[in-house]
């Protein structure tokens, strides 16, 4: 067995050495798929052991072929120099980079040197010579002169290609156009490392051991891999097994002797000298003719390089993943039909999802040009496309796209790189719009703008400047002498050397808003604001001036008129007897003498106070709220009354009216006030008198009702009895007498009914007997019978007895309201609601007839009919005397009357009035 392995190793060595002498990569001679040539098998016995390694190499070759094609898209070329023939073989991309016609290129090293800039040839020759002589790789940058004389910068990496004996037989290199991209050198170096790994071979050591694990045979591959000769190894345990791995090694041998082979075990070993070694180990038993295990054959595959290549591949793939995931450019791979094969994460970030087709999100107007461009790319053309796409937010964005036709997994595909140039296009568009806007602004600007050079000549002037100066613009030094200007404050003429533009040019001074009067070239008088500033270079040198003129003739005249108007206002306000004040924000800004006299405060004191400070405490919040609201543009009552507290402590009533004005450019309020203290005192006396009159009226109604009930009604009853007796004896009378008797009886009955009704209306007896609830129900029934108006009545079940005055007041409100419904509204229905809460009792009467025209009372602000009668005023006064309130609402759909009275607390001053017996006593 040992001899057989040794013989096999001797036979395989020449073949492996010959294979080691082959060029590892030749970009010019690779097949159309981009795959590298395959190595022939090393022998039938080692085929199973090398399968995993070949698969790794195939994967690496495919990955490198794809990477090489991607480098072609990145303007990367390669060349190979055969030293024996002096022939240089170049990729197509290299021809394009060097701007060389392939059919006319000599293909020699000298022809190649002819393309290099003369100043750089010595460095190239030196690097080339060092590579030929000592196999030293080189990396350098140099310039290339194209046929049109254009200079390009190229970064070149090269190394020597050696045969099995270590002799340099050629040079291989890559060249990249870094005129536009100088960042590819690092990626190129890493790619060369990967190519170098792919070019290395992986021979297989094969050894035989006995049942104890001692070596019986040790082939040359094992010698080369581990570094121990066969004589040093045979008869001993495997020297490449570290002490910590020895038990695992012996266990593998024992399993194999039991008939349990091991396949592809990855274990750590070491070389002679201690160098680490990773191996893929397979072990199987050796059997004699009788089938007995007599030893173990171990095949080791040195996977150190493969493992290193796999680690490198993972690093490269991770680098490519990181680059693509973090790149802003959109990198996509498509088949020739445009279907998406791969897309970088930036594509999803733009669209919100991965498109299935190249132009899925294209603008409809760009589809036709995009499809034409795609056909050209598929046919082998390479050009840029600018088109619009809709992003995830629905906005249109501009993309600039470059594409290349490549082969991926043996099939043609298209690799595209898209860059979002929306911001660039928007910036360009914004610049154009800015220039157009500047021209438009200068043309439409209401102020005049002029630009002069260092000597004062006009270089630019807009239309407004011409209009201001009478459509004539004088240039040159004589302009200042011919321009007539006068200082607005003094009227003194401006000297030629005093114009603002002269100071800007001579002193670098900036002058702003000089108010001057001018006489234009067509003889008009105007007032302008004149400004001028120097124009400087980045170094600070004055090269001109800009002049801005604003025509403020109308404003100045308006200000003069305003000052005159304010003077007249002060004369008028100071002389009137009405109190006048202007307040702005929280404070007074003006008070006339009458206002000072009314409040007792001086002008200085009032100007330092809030405008509501003079109001009586119970009115201050009202005055503050309405005053601030009016300044904000709201619409509180224009006229109302309130009390003030004069400086002396005296209370006075004001009839106050205010409105919004503009004072010194800001909103303010102007208020006028009349002292109505005497009127308010008279009104209070009148109210007291009215209350007493209403009380007397009720007493008189009660007396009349009692007299009618106790006297007249009784007499009418006696009269009716006697007329009935006469009617019983009427048969003895003549026909005419009987007819007269019947008429008298009828009239007597009508009089009796009318007297009872009149007495009931004057003072309903049920109000004292049953209380307000019973009286309301009875009166509602009677109202329906008398008027034919349907009544919808709702009375709270928890209604309590009230003091006599309150029950009577609410009943009189009901009487007056129903009378108005019957006489004025024309409503067919009326609703009555009598309710009680914890603090008040409320009566509501609502009809659906013609409404009333209401207005706010000038003093109270309460709504009342525009034509005020006695009834509503009486109702309001009755309720006011008892601390209540009357509210009216009216519109096209009817009128609502609401009356409310506060309830007396238990044990109050009117508690005894709730007992009807006490009222009758």
Q: Check residue 655 and give its pLDDT.
A: 86
pLDDT tens digits, 392-435 = 999 999 999 999 888 888 899 998 999 989 888 888 888 888 77
Predicted confidence band of residue 84 (pLDDT cuts 50, 70, 90)? confident
Same domain, 789 and 884: yes
pLDDT of residue 762: 66
* Span 150-196, pLDDT tens digits: 888 998 999 999 888 888 999 999 888 888 765 445 444 554 444 33
Give mean pLDDT, residues 361-384: 89
Bridge partners (DSSP) of residue 655 are: 641, 674
| pTM given for the model | 0.31
Q: Across residues 881-886, what is the average pLDDT?
A: 86
Average pLDDT rounded to a whole number, residues 193-207:
52
Nearest to 287 by CA among 315, 247, 259: 259
Residue 910: per-residue pLDDT: 47
Bridge partners, 416 (sequence order)? 332, 403
Is 686 or 596 the better-scoring residue by pLDDT?
596
Look over the chain and give the mean of its residue pLDDT values, rounded to a whole number: 80
Are 37 and 151 contained in the same domain?
yes
C-alpha 854: how far from chain center = 50
What letter would DSSP give residue 834? E
pLDDT in tens, 653-683: 998 888 888 887 788 888 888 888 887 777 6
Closest CA to 112 of 134, 89, 136: 89
CA pair distance 432, 313, nearest whole angstrom:
50
Query: Of 763, 783, 817, which marks where a domain is finished?
Result: 763
Last residue of a domain, one of 763, 796, 820: 763
Q: Are residues 48 and 172 in the same domain?
A: yes
Whether the pLDDT of residue 58 is over 50: the answer is yes
Higher pLDDT, 527 or 700: 527
Beta bridge partners, 661, equal 668
Output 237 or 636, whichever has higher pLDDT.
237
Lowest-pLDDT range, 171-185, 279-293, 407-421, 441-455? 171-185
Each residue's pLDDT tens digit, 762-795? 667 666 777 888 888 888 888 888 888 999 999 8
What pLDDT, in 10s, does the model give residues 214-251? 999 888 888 888 899 989 999 999 898 999 999 999 99
Query: Residues 6 or more apart from 702 whose CB is under 8 A from it?
Result: 762, 763
Q: Per the structure block, which two tokens stand in for 521?
A: 């070239």
**Can you give the pLDDT at residue 862?**
58
What is the sign, positive or negative, of the torsion defined by CA atoms of 134, 137, 140, 144? positive
Q: Are strands 666-675 and 262-270 parallel, antiparallel or unpaired?
A: unpaired
Q: In which band, very low, low, confident or very high, does the pLDDT at 541 lie, cut at 50, 70 and 90? A: very high
Residues composing the chain: 921
Q: Please, which pLDDT band fits residue 122 given cuts at 50, 70 and 90?
A: very high
301 vs 282: CA distance, rounded Å = 9
What does the pLDDT average to over 6-20?
38
Indicate whether 57 and 194 sit together in one domain. Answer: yes
> 49 or 720: whose pLDDT is higher?
720
Distance of CA 177 to the CA centre of its chain: 45
Residue scoring higher pLDDT (836 or 66): 836
* pLDDT at position 861 over 60: no
Count of the separate structural domains present in the chain: 6
Give the ranges where 332-381 is alpha helix by DSSP (H): 345-351, 367-378
Measured distance CA(821)–CA(823) in Å, rounded: 6
18-44: per-residue pLDDT in tens?
343 333 333 333 333 333 334 444 444
In a domain, 7, yes or no: no
- The reply to whether 660 and 578 lie within a common domain is yes
Would residue 226 count as lying in a domain? no
Tell whether 264 is covered by a domain: no
- Quick check: 252 pLDDT over 70? yes
* DSSP state letter for 360: T
What's the rounded mean pLDDT across residues 818-840? 88
Lowest mean pLDDT segment, chosen from 95-109, 208-222, 607-621: 95-109
pLDDT at position 527? 92
781 and 897, same domain (yes or no): yes
Q: Among the three residues 199, 219, 247, which one is the final residue of a domain in this structure?
A: 199
For residues 449 and 422, membership in a common domain is answered with no
* Residue 474 pLDDT > 80: no
Render pLDDT for 577-612 as a digit per residue (tens, 0 to 9).
688 888 989 999 888 888 888 899 998 999 999 989
Confidence bin at 15 (pLDDT 50/70/90): very low
Phi/psi region, residue 470 (left: phi>0; alpha: psi -120 to 50; beta: rest), is left
Q: Which domain holds residue 906?
A: 766-921
Provide the pLDDT confidence category of residue 919 given band limits of 50, 70 and 90: very low
Judge if 701 and 749 occupy the same domain. Answer: yes
- With cut-offs at 50, 70 and 90, classify the pLDDT of residue 847: very high
Q: Cα–Cα distances in Å, from 798 out to 148, 403, 453, 912?
A: 112, 91, 96, 19
DSSP reduced 3-state for 439: helix
Q: Are residues 864 and 842 in the same domain?
A: yes
Residues 539 and 583 in one domain: no
For residue 653, the domain's CATH number is 3.30.450.20
- Note whether residue 812 is domain-resident: yes
Longest dimension (CA), the chain: 180
Task: Render 526-556 in DSSP notation, one character per residue.
Answer: EEEEEEEEEEE-TT--EEEEEEEEEE-HHHH
Residue 297 belongs to some domain of the structure? no
Say if residue 836 is in the same domain as residue 704.
no
Which residue, among 298, 193, 201, has the nearest Cα to 256 in the 3D structure? 298
Residue 242 maps to a domain: no
CA 843-849-854 angle, 5° bins: 70
pLDDT score, position 324: 67
pLDDT at 900 (0 to 100): 92
Q: How far apart are CA 606 and CA 590, in angstroms?
A: 9
What pLDDT, on a 0 to 100 scale, did the predictor assign at position 18?
A: 36
pLDDT tens-digit map of 125-152: 999 889 888 889 999 999 999 888 888 8
Residue with the bigger pLDDT between 536 and 707: it is: 536
What is the share, in percent, of the chain residues with pLDDT greater than 90? 22
345 lies in some domain: yes
> What percent of the chain is modeled with pLDDT above 70?
80
- Give the model's confidence band at 860: pLDDT under 50 very low, under 70 low, under 90 confident, else very high: low
Give the pLDDT of residue 380: 83
Residue 303 domain-assigned (yes or no)? no
* CB contact set of 402 (below 8 Å; sequence gap of 6+): 73, 382, 383, 384, 416, 417
Q: DSSP strand E in 243-383: where?
A: 262-270, 276-287, 293-302, 330-335, 340-343
Mean pLDDT in residue range 321-350: 83
Q: Please name the residue that has the structure tokens 């040197």.
A: 113
68 pLDDT band (50/70/90 cuts)? low
> Within this chain, do residues 578 and 671 fall inside the same structural domain, yes or no?
yes
């Amino acid at each position: 067995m040992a001899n057989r392995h040794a013989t096999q190793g001797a036979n395989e060595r020449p073949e492996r050495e010959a294979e080691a002498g082959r060029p590892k990569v030749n970009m010019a001679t690779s097949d159309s798929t981009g795959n590298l040539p395959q190595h022939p098998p090393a022998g039938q016995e080692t085929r199973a052991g090398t399968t995993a390694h070949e698969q790794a190499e195939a994967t690496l070759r495919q990955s490198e072929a794809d990477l090489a094609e991607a480098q072609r898209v990145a303007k990367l070329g390669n060349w190979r120099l055969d030293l024996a023939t002096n022939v240089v073989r170049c990729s197509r991309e290299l021809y394009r980079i060097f701007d060389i016609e392939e059919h006319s290129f000599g293909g020699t090293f000298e022809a190649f040197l002819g393309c290099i800039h003369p100043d750089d040839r010595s460095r190239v020759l030196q690097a080339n010579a060092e590579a030929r002589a000592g196999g030293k790789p080189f990396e350098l940058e140099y310039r290339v002169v194209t046929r049109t004389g254009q200079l390009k910068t190229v970064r070149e990496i090269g190394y020597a290609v050696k045969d099995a004996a270590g002799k340099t037989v050629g040079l291989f290199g890559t060249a990249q156009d870094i005129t536009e991209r100088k960042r590819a050198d690092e990626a190129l170096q890493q790619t060369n490392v990967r190519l170098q790994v792919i070019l290395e071979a992986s021979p297989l050591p094969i050894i035989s051991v006995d049942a104890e694990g001692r070596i019986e045979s040790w082939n040359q591959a094992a010698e080369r891999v581990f570094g121990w000769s066969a004589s040093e190894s045979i008869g001993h345990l495997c020297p490449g097994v570290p002490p910590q791995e020895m038990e695992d090694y012996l266990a593998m041998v024992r399993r194999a002797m039991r008939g349990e082979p091991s396949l592809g075990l990855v274990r750590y070993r070491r070389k002679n000298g201690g160098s680490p070694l990773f191996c893929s180990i397979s072990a199987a038993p050796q059997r004699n003719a009788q089938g007995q295990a007599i030893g173990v054959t171990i095949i080791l595959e040195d996977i150190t390089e493969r493992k290193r290549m796999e680690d490198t591949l993972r690093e490269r793939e991770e680098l490519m993943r990181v680059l693509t995931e973090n790149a802003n450019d959109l990198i996509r791979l498509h088949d020739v039909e445009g279907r998406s094969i791969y897309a970088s994460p930036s594509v999803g970030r733009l669209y919100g999802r991965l498109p299935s087709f190249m132009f899925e999100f294209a603008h409809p107007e760009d589809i036709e040009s995009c499809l034409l461009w795609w056909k050209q790319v598929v046919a082998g053309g390479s050009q840029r496309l600018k088109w619009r796409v809709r992003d995830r937010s629905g906005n249109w964005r501009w993309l600039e796209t470059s594409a290349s036709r490549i082969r991926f997994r043996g099939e043609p595909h298209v690799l595209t790189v898209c860059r979002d140039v929306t911001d660039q296009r928007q910036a360009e568009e914004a610049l154009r719009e800015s220039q157009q806007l500047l021209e438009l602004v200068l043309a439409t600007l209401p102020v005049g703008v002029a630009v002069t050079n260092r000597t004062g000549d006009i270089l630019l002037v807009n239309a407004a400047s011409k209009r201001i100066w009478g459509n004539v613009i004088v240039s040159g030094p004589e302009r200042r002498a011919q321009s007539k200007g006068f200082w607005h404050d003094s009227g003194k003429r401006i000297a030629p050397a005093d114009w603002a533009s002269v100071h800007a040019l001579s002193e670098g001074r900036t002058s702003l808003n000089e108010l001057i009067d001018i006489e234009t070239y067509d003889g008009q008088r105007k007032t302008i604001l004149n400004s001028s500033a120097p124009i400087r270079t980045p170094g600070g040198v004055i090269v001109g001036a800009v002049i801005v003129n604003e025509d403020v003739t109308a404003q100045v005249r308006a200000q003069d008129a305003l000052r005159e108007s304010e003077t007249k206002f002060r004369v008028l306000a100071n002389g009137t007897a009405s109190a006048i004040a202007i307040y702005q924000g929280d404070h007074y800004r003006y008070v006339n003498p009458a206002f000072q006299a009314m409040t007792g405060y001086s002008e200085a004191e009032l100007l330092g106070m809030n405008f509501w400070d003079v109001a009586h405490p119970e009115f201050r919040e009202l005055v503050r709220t309405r005053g601030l609201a009016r300044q904000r543009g709201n619409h509180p009552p224009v006229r109302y009354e309130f009390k003030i507290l004069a400086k002396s402590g005296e209370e006075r009533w004001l009839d106050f009216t205010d409105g919004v004005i503009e004072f010194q450019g800001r909103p303010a309020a102007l208020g006028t006030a009349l002292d109505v203290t005497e009127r308010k005192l008279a009104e209070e006396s009148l109210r007291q008198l009215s209350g007493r009159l209403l009380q007397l009226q009720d007493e008189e109604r009660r007396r009349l009702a009692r007299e009618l009930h106790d006297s007249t009604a009784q007499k009418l009853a006696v009269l009716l009895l006697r007329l009935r007796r006469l009617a019983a004896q009427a048969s003895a009378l003549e026909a005419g007498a009987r007819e007269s008797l019947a008429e008298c009886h009828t009239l007597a009955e009508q009089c009796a009914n009318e007297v009872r009704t009149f007495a009931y209306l004057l003072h309903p007896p049920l109000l004292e007997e049953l209380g307000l609830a019973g009286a309301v129900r009875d009166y509602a029934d009677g109202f329906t019978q008398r008027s034919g108006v349907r009544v919808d009545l709702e009375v709270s079940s928890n209604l309590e007895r009230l003091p006599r005055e309150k029950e009577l007041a609410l009943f009189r409100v009901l009487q007056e309201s129903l009378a108005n419904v019957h006489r004025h509204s024309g409503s067919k229905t009326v609703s009555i609601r009598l309710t009680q809460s914890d603090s008040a009792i409320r009566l509501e009467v609502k009809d659906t007839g013609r409404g009333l025209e209401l207005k706010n009372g000038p003093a109270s602000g309460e709504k009342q009919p525009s034509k005020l009668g006695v009834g509503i005023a009486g109702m309001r006064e009755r309720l006011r005397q008892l601390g209540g309130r009357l509210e009216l609402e009216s519109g096209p759909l009817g009128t609502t009357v609401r009356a409310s009275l506060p309830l007396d607390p238990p044990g109050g001053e009117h508690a005894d009035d709730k007992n009807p017996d006490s009222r009758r006593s």
